[in-house]
Structure 1
């Protein structure tokens, strides 16, 4: 059984970080950044700061087992030509050491300065620089090197995936973080867990496959288990916002192997709990995963539990729009597919990866390409869906699905209509859809 009210109460009372602590986190970050802006050295270099990671993605959970919850902020600094990469981290720590408030709270890590509030949380302050050549980087202190990053691109990718699930992806991530910290049967950095779960979200029949939290949990765990089955050895784990950077250095093969086994186990348990028709037996099955804190909600919580809402993540249907699940194919899944979009050079306009630029102007060209682990041969289908008043007024909402007959594995489009549009790709083999992806396109 789904036990929707139980999931709502469990998330609210046990898993989610409460608003009071989030407010306290805001206050602490405000004081941290005020201190840095007022420092004689770092203050001259300060450009901006922004949340990143779990805080930006809204997937922070309450700490368990005497752990602190953590939050990351990017500290954007101006480039200093004479500095080595490690100097940015060293000088940030020095600024904290000059503060009576933070000198006893700061610890230098390899990529950040950590401010610890004992017994509650820590805030990781990550120096972040946009270099003269346009690269966005953070610091690897041990190697005295810059590492390319695209934090806003990752956050935008996460939001796209979460929107496809009507907000249920972030709830699933919180639940799996809770399982990790509660059971302590597997180890995985949060950024890798977020990436692996987010990459499993598919455009196929999203309305029903992610209709509510338990359904999304069962679906995503099953798809993740199927994908992990393909890889006895840890595969490359690229950053969705910056594909040339991987997260593999943050994990190891034994940890990966153990995670692979545990996900298969918990996926089986979730399916059993979901499919069980008898309420008490279903509750006991869910508690096998989450523990006894997953329990019957109060009468008040039951009455306040929101009914599942499952509007189409793609918006209203266009006049000639097609959906892949209606074209006679069946779903198999188990593989991955990623769309990358490149804004092509055009005089007077910015060009480069769309996830880094975030938006594109009209009258530019885009090239979409795919990366997949589906073995050849296979068929690739594309869908381009325009949204907004301009496209609608010109009868250009589109939405038809077409085969990549030339097997180019690329698609070129021009930006004509302002609005929030999207492109989807689907890989079909032997009449079964093995993987899909969805890429938003915002045209100014």
Structure 2
């Protein structure tokens, strides 16, 4: 199958697949709030706006959050604005109680600016707002004694749709592709920032108006080149459509990751490698493999080993929303301890008989969460020993202890799981030499 058709299949594979379920939940929320605040019975659509990535149509399969704004009556604003102290918090608590009447068996909480409703497969973040004459929304912020803020999601949706129209659908595809890349590699990269940077790049390139699937690899290269040229220390960007500030919440991790992705693709082209394998490594296993190449591998291999490797995306929804950093302390009797990342960065190769203590060095993921580990042995020796491992285990331990036993380019991955969704992941390579 040509790469053109593979990109088309990939873009279809990662489409948001539970929008109808999300819309049903949003309708039930609207129904309850319309009845409580407007006296409207059985109204499942008035005053409710689906926003965020789902509203901008840039969310993908396994998205774990649904952002909605409910437009409350002006009289409600007047009532809470008259409070002497933090009427914003009181408003949030009132809306939370209304939601708890509807979802008595579901976790409902108030969190700064939103009411959070924890469904099984995704989380709803409900913003009680007040629509203004310019289509912006005034909404409560309970921090620092309480204040009112403004947000403009409808203009963001309109400008994203406009860019998609001008690019004949390519813009949405690449917003989806960037999310799949982020989830595959495992780093924090906010949805609105993704959509904004893809939009800015498309604007510079006349929206790729005369392109199609046959050009997607070239577009992907140019987009990675664009991202790797950004300043990772930049404090904020201006959002598509609204021009509101988007903070650099991921510390510019996308810049370094884009450099690596661009290099992998360029090397694959120069060395005439199997591009599908490289794109699966960069963009995820939803990108098609080359069936003939896989068949040839098994035909020519004289080894017989059990393929025990598991993949987190086949076990759980993956929607990376937080950062996670692993480290590994390397010890051996008679030798000074050292940390693996710096050692590998300097070109070091581990030898046998060393003890490895992998641990979570840093994460901004709020507890509680479950901790999963994967240890994968790679190379001919692992196959000869029938010991490639690769199973994913929930240990809920912040540490995973191993030893250097035999040669190969091994690796360890860790995953943080909240409400059944993998929301953070990281990988650390473990190169082991022959002596």
Structure 1 length normalisation: TM-score?
0.55
Q: CA deviation at 1:76?
A: 0.8
Q: Secondary structure at the match of 1:115?
A: strand
Correspondence for 2:262 among 264, 267, 272: 267
Aligned twin of 1:104 = 106
Q: How many Å separate the matches in 2 of 1:295 and 1:284?
A: 9
Q: Secondary structure at the match of 2:36?
A: coil
* Cα offsets for 1:110-149 (capped at 9, x unmatched): 222122222x112221122135898632222224222221
Aligned twin of 1:286 = 279
Aligned twin of 1:78 = 73
**Distance change in 2, residues 1:181/1:218 (3 Å):** same
Aligned twin of 1:295 = 288
Which structure has the greater CA radius of gyration? Answer: 2
Q: How many Å separate the matches in 1 of 2:254 and 2:107?
A: 33
Q: CA deviation at 1:49?
A: 0.7
Q: How many Å separate the matches in 2 of 1:134 and 1:295?
A: 42
Q: Secondary structure at the match of 1:195?
A: helix
**Distance change in 2, residues 1:92/1:8 (3 Å):** same
Q: How many Å separate the matches in 1 of 2:234 and 2:279?
A: 29
Q: Secondary structure at the match of 1:16?
A: coil
**Distance change in 2, residues 1:73/1:265 (3 Å):** same
Correspondence for 1:256 among 240, 251, 255: 251
Aligned twin of 2:234 = 234
Q: 1:276 touches 1:282 (CA, 8 Å); kept in 2?
A: no
Q: 1:165 touches 1:211 (CA, 8 Å); kept in 2?
A: no
Aligned twin of 1:16 = 15
What does 1:22-421 align with in structure 2 at a 5 Å threshold?
22-39=19-36, 48-63=47-62, 69-79=64-74, 80-83=77-80, 84-99=87-102, 101-102=103-104, 104-118=106-120, 120-130=121-131, 136-143=137-144, 144-184=146-186, 186-202=187-203, 204-207=205-208, 210-212=211-213, 213-226=216-229, 228=230, 231-243=231-243, 245-248=244-247, 251-252=248-249, 255-273=250-268, 275=269, 278=272, 281-296=274-289
**Distance change in 2, residues 1:106/1:272 (3 Å):** same
Q: 2:175 touches 2:194 (CA, 8 Å); kept in 1?
A: yes
Q: How many Å separate the matches in 1 of 2:39 and 2:152?
A: 23
Q: 1:10 touches 1:293 (CA, 8 Å); kept in 2?
A: yes
Q: How many Å separate the matches in 2 of 1:206 and 1:240?
A: 14
Q: How many Å separate the matches in 2 of 1:266 and 1:214?
A: 12
Q: Secondary structure at the match of 1:95?
A: helix
Q: 1:96 touches 1:103 (CA, 8 Å); kept in 2?
A: no
* Cα offsets for 1:260-302 (capped at 9, x unmatched): 21122223334455x4695x62222212312444224899xxx
Structure 2 length normalisation: TM-score?
0.57
Aligned twin of 2:374 = none
Aligned twin of 1:379 = none
Q: How many Å separate the matches in 1 of 2:188 and 2:94?
A: 32
Q: 2:276 touches 2:290 (CA, 8 Å); kept in 1?
A: no
**Distance change in 2, residues 1:203/1:196 (3 Å):** closer
**Distance change in 2, residues 1:236/1:290 (3 Å):** closer
Q: How many Å separate the matches in 1 of 2:57 and 2:99?
A: 27
Q: CA deviation at 1:71?
A: 1.5
Q: CA deviation at 1:256?
A: 2.3
Q: How many Å separate the matches in 2 of 1:267 and 1:124?
A: 35
CA-based RMSD of the aligned residues comes to 3.2
Q: How many Å separate the matches in 2 of 1:36 and 1:97?
A: 11
Q: Secondary structure at the match of 1:247?
A: strand
Q: How many Å separate the matches in 1 of 2:9 and 2:222?
A: 21
Q: 1:209 touches 1:215 (CA, 8 Å); kept in 2?
A: no
